[in-house]
Structure 1
Amino acid sequence: MNRILAVTRLHTVVWWNQFIWPWAIMAISLLVNILIFASIDEAAPGKTSTGGLSSLYVVSAIAAAVSISQIFPFALGMGVTRRTFYVATVLVNVAQAILYGVLLYILNLIEGGTNGFGIGLHFFRVPYIDVSNGLLQIAVYAAPLLFLNFVTMFVAIWFVRFGTNGLFATGAAAILVFGLLGALITWQGWWGDIWHWLSTQHQISLLVGWPALVAVVAALGGMAAMRKKMAPGMA
């Protein structure tokens, strides 16, 4: 366990990518949204919800994928096993998601206490993802981050293992499978049933449960792929 905790410190090598840039870009997005909505508030009262918060998730997911290509070769050069590196990386991402969830919840409270930064802006308190329970709100912020990070990490590991051709071939196969599945659903007229099933799902199931489940599957898939022989230069 001490070895794993020691390896987590390797992520400080790319701490700007993983911990600074996501918040910096989100802060810029928040500032831009405040300026835009402050200027149109009188013309469009009440229409102050924005998806700018997604910038944090997108940048974090990209940074998670980049960390595989930047830190993994360095870790191997220091004699770190694939399993140790991956478990340490998972721990870093879980801790990151919890920390981000807490910080976003604090910003949620600030936004609520200032009436949306004085202009009724819904940046952190976006309708539907805003819940009344504090712990659940933290989970609502954290689960999608884990989902995106582990999925992009899995893609990065797949790329490192099989190269560009393998990644594109997998993407083409996925498009084919989902395309055929979509055609089957359309042919059978199942879209209405699927939509009904989704609409009857509990809010927390959609925001926390399902993203967390996919995150676990992606994390296990990444572990399986990581433990196999990697591409030349990454073994």
Structure 2
Amino acid sequence: MSTATSSQTSASQPETTMTDFAPATVHAPGRIARIWNVARLHLVDLRTYVGIPWIIVGTAFVITLIISVIITYSTGSDPNSPTALVGQRYSWAVLAPQWYLIVVAVQAIGMTFPFALGFSVTRRDFYLGTSLLFVMISAFNAVAFMLLTQIEKLTNGWGIGAHMFNALWFGVDGWWVDLLTFFSMQMFIFFLGASVATIYMRWRMPGMLVFWVSLAVLILGAAALITFTSSWTAVIAWFTAQGIAGFFSWLFIPTLFAATCGYLTLRKATPKN
């Protein structure tokens, strides 16, 4: 009787096999996910990419306001008068964070690349993720600076005739030109710094020496060629004819060149202590 009962119980239970205990298949993240993870890896420290640059902007802004008040008071002129405004348009304070961001680009390669390789990130995914970061930060800064430029114009220099953002070539044409110029300039700075960092990662000091000497020879050679052919007038006329938007649009070409060279160099780079 017990044998029959045992047989019935066994028959009523489903048969258990080893496949029932097999772990679920773990799918590796796709290319887009891996690239996005690299960008997120950089943004773990927001101070480097957002915090410190905007602290620099804020400091330059406060200094600009103080200088504007001093100029207005010492000249005894209306803060919105042409006399009080014209000189301040040559302020370079608007470019204050750019010098720091080129260091950020160098650090993005020099400091994060060895760390990322420890997580089995490929060189291609790392460079594409870093490039995505550069595009995002450039776009964010371009929109922010464009809006601040327009606000500064609408408020006649924050009510005291100050020129922090509406200076140099910014604010001369439409808002879209300011957006273009900020974005193209930021992208150029990022990829220039990144490409220099990849040269150091690949060839160390000998590579840096060759790079800087070659760059100096190229610049001096171009200047000598223009001088000996008496072409400075034609060169200046060509740049003038491009306008602000045209000139900064051409800047995308050396940016693309630097980005390509940086990628090709990083493919063979090996982090060293």
What TM-score, normalized by structure 2, do the two folds share? 0.80
2:43 counterpart residue number: 12
Per the alignment, residue 45 of structure 1 pairs with: 84
Runs of 5+ unmatched residues, structure 2: 1-31, 76-82
Q: Distance between the aligned counterparts of 1:178 and 1:132, measured in 2?
A: 30
Q: C-alpha displacement at 1:59, in angstroms?
A: 1.4
Shift of 1:127: 4.3
Quote the Cα distance in structure 2 between the aligned partners of 1:202 and 1:96. 26
Once the two structures are superposed, residues 87-107 of structure 1 have per-residue CA deviations (whole angstroms, 9 ceiling, x without a partner) of: 000001101111111111221
**1:230 is matched with which residue?**
270
Contact in 2 for aligned 1:26/1:53 (Cα 8 Å): yes
Alpha carbons 1:22, 1:56 under 8 Å: kept: yes
Alignment match, 2:149: 108
Per-residue deviation, 1:131 = 4.7
Amino acid at match of 1:26: V
Q: 1:189 to 1:135 in 2, by over 3 A?
A: closer
Q: State whether residues 69 and 160 of structure 2, in contact with CA within 8 Å, keep that contact through their aligned partners in structure 1.
A: yes
Counting only pairs closer than 5 Å after superposition, residues 61-140 of structure 1 correspond to structure 2 as 61-140=102-181
Q: Name the SS for the 1:123 alignment partner.
A: coil
Gaps of 5+ in 1: none
Please name the residue that 1:211 is paired with: 251
The equivalent of 2:221 in structure 1 is 180
1:161-215 CA-to-partner distances (Å, cap 9, x unmatched) read 11122202221122123223322221121112111111111321113x0222221
- In structure 2, the partner of 1:31 is 62
- Judge conservation of contact 1:18–1:64 (CA < 8 Å) in 2: no
Q: 1:187 to 1:133 in 2, by over 3 A?
A: closer
1:206-225 residue CA offsets vs partner (Å, 9 max, x unmatched)? 13x02222211111111111
Q: Which residue of 2 aligns with 1:167?
A: 208
Indicate the SS of the match to 1:126.
Answer: coil
**Given that residues 163 and 231 in structure 1 are in contact (C-alpha distance below 8 angstroms), is that contact kept between their aligned partners in structure 2?**
no
TM normalised by structure 1 equals 0.92
Percent of residue pairs identical: 26
Question: What whole-Å deviation, never above 9, does each CA across 1:123-149 have from its counterpart, x for those lacking one?
Answer: 111243325533333222111000111
Asked if 2 retains the 8 angstrom alpha-carbon contact of 1:13 and 1:71, the reply is: no
Post-superposition CA distance 1:43-80 (Å, at most 9, x none): 26222221101112221221111111111111000000
Distance in 2 (alpha carbons) for counterparts of 1:216 and 1:142: 14
Letter in 1 for 2:251: P
Q: Which amino acid aligns with 1:195?
A: I
Instruction: Let me know the Cα RMSD of the aligned residues.
Output: 1.7
Change (3 A) 1:201 1:122: same
Deviation at 1:5, TM superposition (A): 0.9
Q: Size of the alignment, in residue pairs?
A: 232
Amino acid at match of 1:169: V
* Runs of 4 or more consecutive aligned structure 1 residues displaced over 4 Å after TM superposition: none
